Amino acid sequence: MNTEITLAENTLITERQTIETLLPTPGDFDKFRRFIANASLENDALNQASYQSITKAFLDCAKTGLMPDGDEAAIVTRFDKKQGSQVATFQPMVKGVTRIINESPTIKSFHVKAVYQEDQFDMWADENGDHFTFRPSFEADRSDGNIKLFYASAMLENGTLIIEVMTKSQVDKHKESAKQPYIWNKWYAEMGIKTIIHRILKRLPIKHPEIIKGLESSLNLELDDSKRKPTQDQIEAFTALYSENDKAMNWLGKATYLTVKAELNRPKGE
């Protein structure tokens, strides 16, 4: 096995206890570790990445509770011009993000779709809020060129419907600004769905900064790390619940919980 990957695996083993609290079940760590061991076999470019970036990518994945199996999430590489080398990054997949959203206790149901020209889609708002209908045509041409829009909807436990819609032309603007448009050319529908998920996530009562950052990386969007710092509201909420850690973690989300805790414990002046 490549030395860098071996170092990353050994580092993650030392963090086993922490990682086990983040994964869906404690027994998942052994499965998670196997993905680390096999990563370089599935992605040769990972052999050129530093163990620090490999370690961070797998830790970011663990914080979301997703498995880096290529189905829920993936560890990919990109060439970093500043470092002059390959860098490993975590990227959530549509299936994994959808699972995380649907498992949230604040979400009753979640749907995300590409809508094609022959499909019937209508959206309106009245005094009772937003509404929409979607009726797919089973005879529709499901090619990328026949997509007319993307939508994502979430029904909250309190009965509130949150919906986001983006036309194909709106999604195409994201594609045009991408640093690696060939990814969009190969998986346009998937990238469009990731784009609409990225938009609706910012409106949902789910706090997973690693997923949002991972989606932005996947979509080739510019990342602004200053936006990842916990807000004052989050810090105040955490402080109020600090003596009830389980409650705080559930309310904020595991990833944000850990981020806020680190912020509170940061020495003054840093």
Domains of the chain by residue range:
3-92, 95-208, 229-265
Both tokens of 216, joined, read 């932005």
Mean pLDDT score across all residues of the chain: 80
CA angle 193, 198, 203 (to 5 degrees): 125
Beta-carbon count within 10 A of 9 CB: 18
- Band of pLDDT at residue 165, cut at 50, 70 and 90: very high
Residues 17-52, buried b or exposed e (16+ Cβ, 10 A)?
eebbebbeeeebbeebbebbeebbeebeebbebbbe
Gap between the Cα atoms of 270 and 267, Å rounded: 6
In the predicted structure, residue 247 carries a pLDDT above the cut 70: no
- Compute CA distances 257 → 98, 103, 204, whole Å: 21, 18, 16
Q: Which residue has the higher pLDDT, 142 or 216?
A: 142
How far is C-alpha 174 from the geometric centre of its chain's CA atoms? 17
Gap between the Cα atoms of 21 and 62, Å rounded: 9
Range with lowest mean pLDDT among 32-36, 91-95, 104-108: 32-36
- What torsion do the CA atoms of 58, 64, 65, 70 make, to the nearest 10 degrees? -60
Gap between the Cα atoms of 224 and 77, Å rounded: 19
- Rounded to 5 degrees, what are φ and ψ at 77? -125, 155
CA angle 249, 250, 253 (to 5 degrees): 70
Strand ranges (DSSP E) for 127-169? 129-135, 147-156, 161-167
Count Cβ atoms within 10 A of the Cβ of residue 144 and give its class: 0-12 exposed, 13-18 middle, 19 or more buried.
Answer: middle
What DSSP designation does 146 have? G
In the predicted structure, residue 115 carries a pLDDT above the cut 90: yes
- Compute CA distances 84 → 48, 81, 181, 214, 220, whole Å: 11, 5, 21, 21, 18
Range with lowest mean pLDDT among 72-86, 156-170, 173-187, 223-237: 223-237
- The arithmetic mean of pLDDT across residues 87-99, rounded, is 90
- Band of pLDDT at residue 3, cut at 50, 70 and 90: confident
User: Of 194, 191, 196, which is closest to residue 175 (Cα–Cα)?
Assistant: 191
- Band of pLDDT at residue 231, cut at 50, 70 and 90: low
- How high is the pLDDT of residue 265? 55
Sign of the CA dihedral with 81 first, then 84, 90, and 94 last: positive
* Most confident by average pLDDT, 6-10, 40-44, 149-153, 175-179: 149-153
Q: Which helix (H) or strand (E) holds 262?
A: helix 254-265
Count Cβ atoms within 10 A of the Cβ of residue 252 and give its class: 0-12 exposed, 13-18 middle, 19 or more buried.
Answer: buried
